[in-house]
Amino acid sequence: MARPLKDGVDYFPKDTDFYADDKVRLLRAEFGSKGMYLLDYILCDLYGKNGYFIKWDKNKCYLVSDGAGCGCSPEFVAEFISGCIRCSFFDKRVFEMFGALTSVGIQRRFIRMLNSRENFTFIEEYFLLDISDKKDVPQGILNKLAFKKVSDKENEVKSKDNPNKSKDNSQSKIEENKVEESRVEESIIDDSHRPPAPYEQIKDMYNNICTSYPKLRSMSDSRKKAIKARLRQYSIDDFKCLFEKAENSSFLKGANNRNWSATFDWLIKDSNMAKTLDGNYDDRPMQRNDYNAGARKNNNLFLDLLENSEFDNGDDIL
């Protein structure tokens, strides 16, 4: 009897510059080597069990604390996960709404490991990729994807001896070789039921609040795509807070040792938006020893790291 396929995988790819990514560096700076060990342990658990996500709750903190065997208390594990959410290593919206850890980068890597499978069912609410973007979903994998709702656990489609089983569930199962790409698009979260992304509202909000920055005159396709991606995780009020923090930040307006200033495009990048909202660039009260250049430089542990985050590519992180 053939062994049934599991949802997870036996191994996963890891970029050689994984530990050089800004998000990982921030986690290492805050949580040290134990944090890096925990990160590897959690990723192995995630890819191994479900392939692209892992459910998380208080009990999981105890299980990971015991299983990792690195002397980390459950409280340390819980704080580490909070740090992962703060720096956007894992998607904040999916975690807060559904108690699951996942990310765009994790899903991109996992979806490329489906070549040997006849099909695979994703949970619709967890899915973060854009099927119209080949960088997210390669054309050859498109027709292998099926989707189900969080509440549809009893209708989960599994590939066993008969990969075409359960075809009667036409809303969540995409029939092989019979469905065009447009049908696949319909099986993902239906964007027609969502209000259109408020691009002009965000542009006007930026121009009205960020008066110290160059005026934003148009919304390019790349800007719209970035805004749409951020709106999966943040609200309009978050964008307002982002722009207010940028306008009140001397560092982002050019008071740094590179004479560099932030831009609208920089602000709406995934990791940069998260760090700005977290207050990493907020002005700090002037201290007497701040007149000493060395003391000023040490005032922020992550100054150089955050200054260079202009060039990060956070969506590609594992």
Give yes or no for residue 15 having a pLDDT over 50. Answer: yes
Structural domain that includes position 273 = 199-283
> 133 and 166 share a domain?
yes
> 215 and 276 share a domain?
yes
Give yes or no for residue 237 having a pLDDT over 50. Answer: yes
Helix (H) or strand (E) holding 224: helix 221-230
Point out the least confidently predicted range of 137-141, 200-204, 222-226: 137-141
Residue 93 domain-assigned (yes or no): no
Query: Can you tell me the mean pLDDT for 236-260?
Result: 91
Residue 220 domain-assigned (yes or no): yes
DSSP string, 65-100: HHHH-SS--HHHHHHHHHHHHHTTSS-HHHHHHH-E
Residue 155 is predicted with a pLDDT of 44
Return the closest-CA partner of residue 286 out of 275, 274, 273, 295.
295
**Domain boundary residue, one of 137, 160, 193:** 193
> 225 and 160 share a domain?
no
Residue 142: which pLDDT band, with cuts at 50, 70 and 90?
confident
> 129 and 155 share a domain?
yes
Q: What span, in angstroms and rounded, lies between the C-alpha atoms of 35 and 73?
A: 12
Point out the least confidently predicted range of 46-60, 111-125, 300-314: 300-314
Greatest distance between any 2 Cα atoms in the chain: 75
Residue 59 domain-assigned (yes or no): no
> 203 and 278 share a domain?
yes
Residue 301 domain-assigned (yes or no): no
**Domain boundary residue, one of 158, 193, 228:** 193
Name, in order, each residue with C-beta under 8 angstroms of 285's C-beta and a sequence gap of 6 or more.
none
Q: Can you name the residues that pair with 146 across neighbouring β-strands?
A: 121
> 246 and 188 share a domain?
no
Residue 230 domain-assigned (yes or no): yes
Number of folded domains that form the chain: 2
Residue 144 is predicted with a pLDDT of 84
> 210 and 163 share a domain?
no
Residue 184 is predicted with a pLDDT of 40
Residue 113: which pLDDT band, with cuts at 50, 70 and 90?
confident
What's the distance, Cα to Cα, between the start and end of the chain in Å?
A: 35
Q: What span, in angstroms and rounded, lies between the C-alpha atoms of 14 and 25?
A: 16
Name, in order, each residue with C-beta under 8 angstroms of 270's C-beta and a sequence gap of 6 or more.
88, 229, 230, 314, 315
Residue 69: which pLDDT band, with cuts at 50, 70 and 90?
confident
> 137 and 173 share a domain?
yes
Residue 226 domain-assigned (yes or no): yes
> 215 and 264 share a domain?
yes
Residue 11: which pLDDT band, with cuts at 50, 70 and 90?
confident
Residue 294 is predicted with a pLDDT of 46
Residue 122 is predicted with a pLDDT of 92
Residue 312 domain-assigned (yes or no): no
> 120 and 182 share a domain?
yes
**Domain boundary residue, one of 176, 193, 210:** 193
Give yes or no for residue 223 having a pLDDT over 70. Answer: yes
> 205 and 274 share a domain?
yes
Inter-residue contact 65 to 58 (CB < 8 Å)? no
Residue 145: which pLDDT band, with cuts at 50, 70 and 90?
confident
Residue 210 domain-assigned (yes or no): yes
> 181 and 229 share a domain?
no
